Structures are given as C-alpha cells and as structure tokens.
C-alpha cells in the first residue's frame, strides 16, 4: 500500500503590511511550516513557539495542523472567498503550497458547525478555522493561511510543549485529531 500524502497548514490572525508581504513572497511555504513545527517541538517558553518574530503582529490558537490526504484550500476559499494576497508555488509538482491572506471583512460572522462526516481531519479543520476567524475578528485583523503537501501525519507535539501551548492560550495543542 502506498503511503498517504499529508497536508500541513497554519492558520494565523494577523494584520498585513508591506514588510510582511515582502517576506511572504520571498519565503517558501515549507520553510515556514518547518520553522513553526520545529519551534513548537522544542519550545521552552512561549516566545519560542513563534518563528520569524511573527508573534508581534500575529496570534493563533493551534500549532501546525496536519491532514491525511485532505487539501483544505478549496474549503477555505469556499468559506472565505478569494484571498487578497495569494502566493502559490509548485517547484516540483509534488509539494505545491500556498500562502493566502484574507482581509478582516472577508471573515464571516459564523462558520458552519462541525459537519457530520467520516473525515476527522475535516472536522478538525472546521474547528480550527472557526476559532481562528473568531480570534481574527476580535483582533480586527485578517487571516493568514500557509499550507502545502509534505511532512508525516504522525508528527506529534511533545507533552511538555503541549502544556506550554495551553498556557499560552492555544485552544488546540495537537497537530491532528
């Protein structure tokens, strides 16, 4: 049996400025995901949970998330419409990724509750999106999505870092259901 592809993503509440836009256009999505996942796995304090110094302009409620063979980008665009910033990369065709930013007024007041389905990763995505959108509205900021194919579904956040994430206010402390 062939291994199932894994999709990794981050959802962040953030304000967009020219400096961040420049950075997003220059950085490969996989490097962002990897930097965040590594920081999450090794963090000894709340500041280490953030890569690139982004904790200044951003907030989040979940670590890097993983899905098994589920590309969440079409669902995200269905819920939020077209992003105002979109950076797509497909260097080798196997690990294409996206960076998308949705302006604050694109965030719906409510997102559908977890839909009854047989795909735990879809339910998890809806929950993370709903809570991140709620955070973004409270901060009067937009929503930044970074995601793409790759990684291993079994990547677990170590227990001490899960405690740190919970203490830092994250509603989710694992990478998948």
pLDDT tens sequence across 124-175: 999 999 999 999 999 999 999 999 998 889 899 999 999 999 999 999 999 9
The pLDDT of 46-55, averaged and rounded, is: 92
Tell me the C-alpha distance between 5 and 39, whole Å: 23
Provide the 8-state DSSP code for 168.
T
- For residue 105, the model assigns a pLDDT of 77
Give the single-character DSSP code of 84.
Answer: S
pLDDT for res 94: 47
**Higher pLDDT pick, 125 / 90:** 125
Residue 117: predicted pLDDT: 56
- Could you give the CA distance from residue 88 to residue 29 in angstroms, rounded to a whole number? 9
**Residue 171 main-chain phi, psi, to 5 deg:** -80, -25
């Amino acid at each position: 049996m062939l291994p199932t592809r894994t999709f990794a993503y981050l959802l962040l509440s953030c304000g967009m400025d020219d400096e961040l836009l420049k950075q997003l256009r220059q950085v490969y999505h996989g490097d962002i995901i990897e930097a965040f996942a590594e920081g999450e796995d090794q963090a000894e304090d709340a500041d280490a949970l953030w890569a690139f110094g982004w904790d200044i302009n951003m907030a989040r409620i979940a670590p890097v998330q993983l899905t098994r063979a589920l590309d969440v980008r079409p669902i995200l665009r269905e819920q939020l419409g077209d992003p105002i910033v979109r950076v797509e990369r497909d260097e080798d065709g196997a690990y294409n990724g996206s960076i998308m930013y949705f302006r604050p007024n694109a965030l719906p007041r409510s997102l559908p509750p977890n839909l009854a389905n047989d795909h735990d990763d879809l339910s998890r995505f809806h929950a993370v999106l709903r809570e991140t959108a709620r955070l973004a509205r409270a901060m009067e900021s937009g929503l930044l999505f970074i995601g793409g194919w790759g990684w291993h579904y079994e990547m677990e956040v170590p227990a001490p870092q899960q405690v740190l994430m919970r203490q830092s206010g994250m509603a989710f402390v694992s990478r998948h259901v």
